[in-house]
Each structure stands twice: as structure tokens, then as C-alpha cells.
């Protein structure tokens, strides 16, 4: 991974079209290409937009899988809206949740190359609502993802819906942690839960 550029040092860097283009040019790198192909398979199987894995993260070298709930609009680079997304699931996206993830990762002291970010429901279909059918379909795709992560030791479920993956991944003998989702809603409504997030992530990352 020596050919990856210097890590980004501020949140929301993917608000830049040039930054998005540079990120897209990295999708053939060895640590990300198998995950690129996995996402492409999901796009072919189900309706909705499936974002790319972020090449600036650890990819197949990651030991920590941060499993979020569902992609948001800023992962969608195909939507006909005034604010087009990046096409990546990334802590560098131009939205408050991504900014919080970026900040909490720094607070927790987690090396970016140790991580990979994904969603238990990988398809964005224009709504944040998660139906039981969507959740079940997403859970069925996790085994194939885990098989692509040979160094994985720990899953951190980020959000209540993501935590429902625990039973589905038990057979892989991985450590499993759960935190609240770093959304603006949780920050406003449950500040004590919000403030606990980086501590949980620190504990999860410390496990080897």
C-alpha cells in the first residue's frame, strides 16, 4: 500500500470533485480491488446504489470492520440532486455523520489502515428506512465480505440495526462490539450515548 497518497488530515475532503476523482483512480490497488468487485456483485443483484469501499482505508488488510447501518445520500454519486455524493462509503464524505466518524476515529487513536467501513444494508434506495427484507438481504452478504478480510479480528457494529449482525457473524469467531450511530439525531437526543462512542471504539481497537 506504499502507493497510497498521504492520509487526509481534515474531514469532508470528498466535497472536492478532484479528490473524488483521485479516490476513484485508486480502486484497482491490490488492497481494494477484491472489495471493488464484491460491491459490483451487490449492484448486479439488487436494486439501489452500492457505494465503493474507500481505498484510503485498509481494504483487505483491515483488522477492524466498522459495520454501519445503511448508505446515506452522500454516498450516491448518481442522484440527480443539487449536492451529489462521492460514490464511496467514507469518513471523508461531506456530511455530519462522516465528519463525526472521522473525528471519533482520531479520538480513539485508530490507524486508518487498520479499518474498513461498510453497511449491514449495502444498498441505498433513496430512504434511510430499513425494512426487515433489506436487513435480511444485507445479513446474507456478510459471509462473502468477511471471507475477503483475512486479517479481520473485530467487528464494530455502529447503530442498533447494525448490531443485529451479531448472530449472523458468530460462526467466524470474531470479537463483536456495538456502539451508537454517530448521527446528528443521536448527538442532539442522546448526548451521553454520542459521547461514549469513541471510548467503545478505543476498546474494540485495543483487542488483538
- Whether 31 and 61 have beta carbons less than 8 Å apart is answered as yes
Domain ranges, ordered by start, for the chain: 13-206
Report how far residue 65's alpha carbon sits from residue 29's, in angstroms, rounded to the nearest whole number. Answer: 19
Pick the CATH number of 13-206 from 3.40.470.10, 3.30.365.10, 3.40.605.10, 3.30.2320.50: 3.40.470.10
Q: Specify the range with the lowest mean pLDDT, choosing from 24-28, 82-86, 169-173.
A: 82-86
Helix (H) or strand (E) holding 67: strand 64-68
Reported as a single tens digit per residue, the pLDDT across 42-73 is 999 877 789 999 999 999 999 999 999 999 87
- Whether 107 and 198 have beta carbons less than 8 Å apart is answered as yes
pLDDT, residue 129, reads 87
Reported as a single tens digit per residue, the pLDDT across 92-131 is 999 999 999 999 999 999 999 999 999 999 998 888 889 9
pTM: predicted TM-score of the whole model, two decimal places = 0.92
Helix (H) or strand (E) holding 130: none
Q: Are strands 88-89 and 52-53 parallel, antiparallel or unpaired?
A: parallel
Three-point CA angle 25, 26, 32, nearest 5° = 140
Contacts of 47 (CB under 8 A, 6+ apart): 123, 125
Sign of CA dihedral 163, 52, 197, 190: negative
Amino acid at each position: 500500500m506504499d502507493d497510497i497518497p498521504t492520509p487526509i488530515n481534515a474531514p469532508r475532503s470528498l466535497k472536492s470533485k478532484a479528490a473524488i476523482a483521485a479516490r476513484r483512480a485508486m480502486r484497482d490497488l491490490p488492497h481494494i480491488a477484491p472489495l471493488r468487485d464484491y460491491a459490483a456483485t451487490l449492484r448486479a443483484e439488487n436494486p439501489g446504489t452500492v457505494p465503493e469501499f474507500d481505498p484510503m482505508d485498509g481494504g483487505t488488510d483491515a483488522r477492524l470492520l466498522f459495520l454501519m447501518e445503511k448508505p446515506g445520500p452522500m454516498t450516491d454519486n448518481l442522484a440527480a440532486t443539487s449536492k451529489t455524493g462521492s460514490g464511496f462509503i467514507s469518513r471523508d464524505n461531506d456530511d455530519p455523520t462522516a465528519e463525526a466518524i472521522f473525528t471519533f476515529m482520531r479520538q480513539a487513536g485508530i490507524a486508518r489502515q487498520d479499518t474498513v467501513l461498510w453497511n449491514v444494508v449495502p444498498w441505498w434506495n433513496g430512504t434511510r428506512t430499513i425494512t426487515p427484507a433489506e436487513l435480511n438481504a444485507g445479513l446474507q452478504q456478510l459471509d462473502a465480505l468477511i471471507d475477503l478480510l483475512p486479517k479481520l479480528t473485530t467487528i464494530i457494529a455502529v447503530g442498533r440495526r447494525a448490531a443485529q449482525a451479531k448472530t449472523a457473524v458468530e460462526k467466524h469467531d470474531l470479537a463483536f462490539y456495538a456502539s451508537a450511530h454517530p448521527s446528528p439525531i443521536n448527538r442532539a437526543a442522546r448526548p451521553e450515548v454520542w459521547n461514549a462512542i469513541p471510548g467503545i471504539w478505543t476498546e474494540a481497537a485495543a483487542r488483538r
